[in-house]
Amino acid sequence: MPEMDGLTLLLELLSLDLVLRSVVVSAYGDMQNIRTAMNRGAIDFITKPIDFQDLEVTIAKTLEDVLQLKTALEREKQAREALEQLNNQLEERISERTRELEEANAKLAESKREARYELEEAYQMQVGLLPETAPELPGIQVFGQSIPAKDVGGDFFDYLSCLDETKSLIAVADISGKGMYAAMNAVMASGILQLTSKQHNNAATIMDEVNDALCQSLKSDMNATIILAEIDPADRTMTIVNAGQHAYPLLCRNGQIEPIAAKGMAVGMIPSISYTPVTLDLQVGDLIFLMTDGITEPRNAEGMMYQESGRLAEVISNLQADDSAENMVDKVINDVLHFSQDQDIQDDDITLILIHIM
C-alpha cells in the first residue's frame, strides 16, 4: 500500500466506532503477520495463491457475522433506549410519589398541630371547670383534685349552691368520650348542674332534672356519670345520689371502709327516671371519698386494677385523722400514679374528693 501497510490499517480500523469485519490476505506460511493481523481485529485470513471458492465462503461467513453483529447492536440499542425510557418513567413516578408523600406529611404535621391545639383547648376548658377553693363548712373539711389524662377526658367536679343556702352540694362527673367533644359536653353538663342546683334543695330532684336536660342535649352515643353529695352541716347528714358511677363513694369510719352503694342509671340516656338517694348520719372522724373510675381502674404491669389490688383500702386505712384533707387526697392519688407507673400514658382522668368530718 502506498501510504500504510495492512497491519497499520487494522490498527486504524480498531480506533473507529464502526460495525465491520476484516479478512486479511497474506503469503502462505507468513504466520507471524497473520497472527498480528488477527490480534488487531481480523476475523479470518486467506493465503496466496487465492482460492476463490474459499474466498467466497470466507466473505459469506464474514458478512453473516457482520449482520449478526449489527442485529445484536441494534437490539442492544433498543434495550438501552427502553431501559432509559423505563428509568425516566420510574424517576417521574418517584418524583410524583415523593411530592405526594411530602404533601401527605405536611397535612399530617398540620393535623398533629391542630390536634395538639385542640387537646390544649380541651385541657383548658376542663381545668376551667374546676373550682378554685373548697366550701367553708362548719366542722367539715373538703378538698378535691382532678388530673386530666393525656387525651383529656370529661371528668370535673364542682361545689354548688342549693336553693337552701345552708346546704352545700358537691358534684363529681365523668362525661363519656375524649378530647374537645368530651370537654364541650363537660362544660354543658357543668352549666346545667349549676343552674339546676340553685332551683332545688334536694339532690335527687336535681339529678332528675339534669338527666332530662342532658337527654335532650347529648347525642345518643354519649352519657355522663354523676355523683351528687348534698351536705347539711346543721343536721350533720349527707345525702348521696349516684347516676351510673360504678366507682362507688367510700366511707371510712373507725378504720373500717365501706362502699356507699347508691345506684342509678347514667344521665343523658333515658328521660323521666327517678334517682334514689342514700342518706348518712355523719360522725366525727368520718372520711367520705367521692371519685371517678380514674382512681379505681388504672392497671399495673400485670394488668391488675388498682382497687382490685387492695391498695386503695390500704392507703385509706393508713391515713392519719389529724392530717389535712389536701394531704390525704395527695397520698391516695400519688399511690394510684405509682401503681400504674409502668403504663406508657395516663389514659383516664383522675378525680378524687375527700369530705372529712371534724
Quote the pLDDT of residue 113. 80
pLDDT band at 253 (very low <50, low <70, confident <90, very high): very high
Strands 224-232 and 250-253: unpaired
- Please check the confidence at residue 37 and state whether its pLDDT lies above 80: no
Q: Where in the chain is the domain with CATH 3.60.40.10?
A: 130-357
User: What is the architecture, at CATH level 2, of domain 6-71?
Assistant: 3-Layer(aba) Sandwich (3.40)
Q: Is 245 exposed, middle or buried (0-12, 13-18, 19+ CB in 10 A)?
A: buried
Is 347:149 a contact under the CB 8 Å cutoff? yes
For the CA atoms of 8, 9, 14, 18, the dihedral, rounded to the nearest 10 degrees, stands at 170
In this structure, what is the dihedral angle of CA atoms 295, 298, 302, 303, given to the nearest 10 degrees?
A: 110
**Selected residue with higher pLDDT from 196 and 69:** 196
Confidence of residue 345 (pLDDT cuts 50, 70, 90): low
147 forms bridges with which residues in the sheet? Answer: 350
Q: Is the pLDDT of residue 96 over 80?
A: yes
Poorest-pLDDT segment among 3-12, 118-127, 297-306, 325-334: 118-127
| pLDDT at position 151 over 80 | no
At 262-307, the pLDDT tens digits run 999 999 999 999 999 999 999 999 999 999 999 999 998 888 999 9
Q: Around Cβ 336, how many Cβ atoms within 10 Å?
A: 25
pLDDT (tens digit per residue) in 326-343: 999 999 999 999 998 866
With 60 as the cut, is the pLDDT of residue 63 above it? yes
Give the three cell numbers for residue 288: 367520705
Mean pLDDT, the chain, rounded, equals 87
Q: Distances from the Cα of 62 to the Cαs of 22, 54, 65, 292, in angstroms?
A: 8, 12, 5, 97
Domain 130-357 has CATH 3.60.40.10: yes
Residue 343 vs residues 146, 337, 346, 347: alpha-carbon distances, Å: 19, 10, 7, 9
Strand ranges of the sheet holding 140-147, from the earlier edge strand across to the other edge: 140-147, 350-357, 287-291, 250-253, 256-259
Which residues of the chain are in CATH 3.40.50.2300 domains?
Answer: 6-71
Q: What is the mean pLDDT of residues 88-110?
A: 87
**How confident is the model over 226-235, as pLDDT tens digits?**
999 999 999 9
d(CA 195, CA 174): 18
User: In the prediction, which pLDDT does 226 show?
Assistant: 96
Q: Which residues contact 342 (CB under 8 A, 6 or more apart)?
A: 300, 301
The pLDDT tens digits for 238-249 are 999 999 998 999
- pTM here is 0.69
Mean pLDDT lowest for which of 162-176, 178-192, 283-297?
A: 178-192
Packing angle between helix 203-217 and helix 179-197, nearest 10 degrees?
140
Q: Strands 256-259, 278-281: parallel, antiparallel or unpaired by DSSP?
A: unpaired
Q: For the chain, what percent of residues have pLDDT higher than 90?
A: 47
Provide the pLDDT for residue 197.
Answer: 94
How crowded is the C-beta side of 19, counted as CA atoms within 13 Å?
12
